[in-house]
């Protein structure tokens, strides 16, 4: 009964979040900034979960495993649907450069810092009962969580000129590409790093390849079955909805059975589906993407209920250091991308890189789903805290910008230019 | 008085011909566009203008991508089309009947007309 009530609560809040009122609220830039990472819903999940008021207890949250797998499969599908073959042909070099740089820096900075803390400092402040395999898994997870950023750029765009639009597109494209890479890397790392029966580290690349082949074949089969099922369903909406939900559920269930992260299986399926021809498949794509906000809210609520707030000194240290690191190097690489696309490198939009990608929360939930250890809930807590801390500077910058007098990039007033053309020209140059 | 040859006029023509209306079709399923073009031509509704469009919900969703940011780099594939054509009320009514009878609910576009009070530049 509690599980049913929890499900009703989660779905009700998700539907509220997609109402016209919620859409209107998101037009406000500070609110958009807060909502883009799902923080409001996440904190609501913490409030009603075992760490807060306890309206939903630990047993009930653990019983939501099928829902978690379903949501992760859906998230993976949405990420994979962006990988149409035409995108890779059309990718601007600026996007590729920015993504590659971001991945390298994430591995070096986030990987190095996490390694340092978990392998050398954790001895004094116990984070949890972690084996060597667990620590490696956590380091890998924190690296992939550091890749990319939130793709919502409207709240940080201070002008609608061409340079701003170009940088916004570069940032969003790079964020999307980073999400694809992050999920792929996490899936491979999760399969590669494991422990044997006695708890010793076991790295088996052959097993990874076997699983990868099996998943690829499974996804191919799923794609063909999906297309056939959609053709059979025809125009009937109830049948179509059944097929849509059934495909996602089948994907999530089978991947869990195979021990493959649902988000990875979903992503591979999304990549396949978006490159399949057929108007039925386009319909399926549209259905998945239209529900993006609902799924994001469900994910955030569930993540809030699952995380452990008692992350200890090590957890807080990890979160603070990783978010400070983001603040230091992410704006630099985005500013570099801005200059290479004709911008000044001083746009407010360069701070979008500081904001952690929402995919990080999905990857954290994936760890909780795959692992039986209590420490996984703490790691999710670290990821969430990192994300919250990393929102603070962009939020402050946005509020600061709103408080400052509005700068304009519009054409100088004709009366002014008629009277003093030199002054009007120099004004617009200053603004530009 | 209507003057078809010079392409200007007011609501009702000199011979009492049917009132002119501006017909709008909002097509969310692009696969029906081809079939609709055939229907329009069969009914004598020509000179239509077709524009690619995007729904408000799609724009709001794009402003705040959460997981699907890579789609921003895809070539324009909005999937929606708006067709508008100046025609007579009679032909518009015929079109509505065809849409009702021969198109399923999912394929049926949103269609409506607005009266044209005056015009310049229309031919025929």
pLDDT bucket at A125, cuts 50 / 70 / 90: low
Each residue of A270-290: pLDDT tens digit?
Answer: 998 888 877 777 778 778 877
Give the residue, A165 or A97, on which the prediction is more confident. Answer: A97
Closest Cα of chain B to A37: distance in Å? Answer: 8
Task: Identify the residue among B59, B61, B63, B66 best suited for mutation to test binding to A, counting A beta carbons within 10 A and taking the highest.
Answer: B66
What does the pLDDT look like over A213-257, one tens digit per residue?
A: 898 899 888 888 888 888 888 777 788 888 888 989 999 999 988
Q: Does B66 touch chain A (CB under 8 A)?
A: yes
pLDDT tens for residues A357-375?
A: 999 999 999 999 988 778 8
Residue A344: pLDDT over 90: no
Whether A158 and A245 have beta carbons less than 8 Å apart is answered as no
DSSP A107: I
Contact A370, A134 (CB under 8 A): no
In chain A, which residue's Cα lies nearest the Cα of B58? A290
Q: Give the pLDDT score at A184.
A: 94
The pLDDT, as a whole number, for residue B66 is: 79
Task: Report the chain B residue with the minimal C-alpha distance to residue A181.
Answer: B70
Q: Are A26 and A35 within 8 A, CB to CB?
A: yes
pLDDT of B2 > 50? The answer is no
Q: Which residues of B touch A85 (CB under 8 A)?
A: none
CB A405: neighbour CB atoms within 10 A?
5
Whole-complex ipTM: 0.72
Two tokens, residue A353? 């890189």
Q: pLDDT digits over A57-93, tens only? A: 777 777 888 889 999 999 999 999 888 888 888 788 8
User: Is A81 in contact with B60 (Cβ distance < 8 A)?
Assistant: no
Q: What residues in A contact B75, CB-CB < 8 Å? A: 86, 90
- pLDDT for B60: 67
Structure tokens at A281: 């498949």
Q: Do A82 and B70 touch (CB under 8 A)?
A: yes
Mean model confidence pLDDT for chain B? 78
pLDDT value at residue A152: 80
Q: What is the mean pLDDT of residues A166-189?
A: 90
Higher-scoring residue by pLDDT: B11, B94:
B94
Percent of chain B with pLDDT over 70: 71
Cβ-Cβ contacts under 8 Å, A79 against chain B: 67-68, 70
Whether the per-residue pLDDT at A394 is higher than 90: the answer is: no
- Residue contact A292–B66, C-beta within 8 A: yes
CB contact under 8 A, A32 and B64: yes
The larger pLDDT score, comparing residue B16 to residue B91, is at B91
Region B15-24 average pLDDT? 76
User: How far are the Cα atoms of A383, A410, A423, A432 from residue A418, in angstroms, in the given order?
Assistant: 57, 16, 10, 20
Residue of A nearest to B104 (CA): A235
Q: What is the pTM of this model?
A: 0.80
What CA–CA distance (Å, rounded) separates A5 from A2?
5
Partnered with residue B86 across adjacent β-strands are: B22
């Amino acid at each position: 009964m509690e599980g049913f009530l929890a499900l009703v609560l989660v779905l009700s809040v998700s539907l509220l979040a997609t109402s016209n009122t919620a859409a209107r609220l998101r037009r406000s830039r500070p609110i958009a900034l807060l909502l883009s990472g799902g923080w409001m819903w996440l904190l609501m999940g913490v409030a009603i979960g075992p760490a807060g008021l306890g309206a939903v207890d630990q047993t009930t949250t653990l019983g939501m495993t099928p829902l978690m797998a379903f949501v992760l499969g859906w998230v993976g599908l949405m990420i994979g649907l962006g990988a149409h073959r035409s995108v890779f042909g059309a990718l601007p070099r600026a996007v590729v450069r920015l993504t590659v740089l971001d991945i390298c820096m994430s591995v070096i900075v986030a990987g190095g810092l996490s390694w340092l803390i978990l392998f050398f400092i954790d001895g004094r402040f116990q984070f949890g009962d972690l084996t060597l395999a667990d620590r490696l898994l956590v380091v890998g997870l924190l690296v992939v969580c550091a890749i990319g950023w939130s793709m919502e750029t409207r709240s940080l765009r201070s002008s609608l000129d061409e340079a701003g639009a170009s940088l916004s597109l570069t940032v969003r494209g790079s964020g999307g590409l980073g999400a694809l890479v992050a999920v792929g890397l996490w899936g491979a790392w999760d399969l590669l790093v494991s422990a044997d029966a006695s708890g010793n580290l076991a790295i088996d690349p052959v097993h990874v390849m076997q699983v990868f082949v099996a998943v690829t074949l499974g996804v191919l089969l799923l794609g063909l079955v999906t297309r056939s099922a959609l053709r059979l369903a025809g125009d009937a909406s109830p049948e179509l909805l059944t097929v849509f939900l059934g495909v996602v559920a089948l994907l999530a269930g089978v991947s869990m059975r195979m021990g493959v992260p649902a988000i990875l299986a979903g992503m591979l399926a999304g990549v396949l589906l978006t490159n399949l021809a057929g108007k039925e498949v386009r319909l399926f794509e549209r259905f998945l993407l239209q529900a993006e906000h609902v799924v994001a809210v469900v994910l955030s609520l569930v993540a809030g209920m699952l995380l452990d707030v008692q992350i200890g000194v090590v957890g807080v240290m990890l979160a603070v250091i990783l978010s400070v690191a983001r603040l230091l190097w992410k704006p630099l690489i985005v500013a570099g991308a801005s200059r290479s696309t004709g911008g000044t490198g001083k746009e407010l939009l360069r701070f979008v890189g500081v904001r952690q990608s929402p995919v990080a929360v999905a990857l954290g939930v994936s760890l909780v789903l795959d692992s039986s250890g209590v420490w996984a809930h703490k790691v999710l807590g670290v990821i969430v805290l990192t994300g919250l801390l990393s929102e603070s500077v962009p939020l402050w910058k946005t509020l600061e910008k709103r408080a400052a007098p509005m700068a304009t990039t519009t054409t100088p007033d004709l009366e002014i230019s008629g009277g003093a053309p030199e002054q009007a020209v120099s004004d617009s140059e200053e603004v530009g | 008085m209507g003057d078809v040859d010079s392409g200007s006029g007011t609501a009702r023509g000199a011979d009492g011909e049917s009132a002119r209306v501006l017909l709008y079709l909002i097509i969310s399923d692009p696969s029906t566009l081809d079939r609709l073009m055939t229907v329009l031509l069969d009914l004598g509704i020509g000179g239509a203008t077709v524009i690619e469009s995007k729904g408000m919900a799609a724009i709001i969703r794009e402003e705040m991508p959460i997981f699907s940011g890579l789609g921003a780099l895809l070539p324009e594939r909005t999937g929606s089309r708006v067709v508008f054509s100046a025609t007579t009320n009679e032909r518009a009514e015929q079109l509505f009947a065809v849409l009702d009878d021969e198109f399923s609910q999912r394929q049926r576009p949103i269609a409506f007309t607005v009266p044209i009070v005056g015009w310049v530049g229309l031919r025929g």
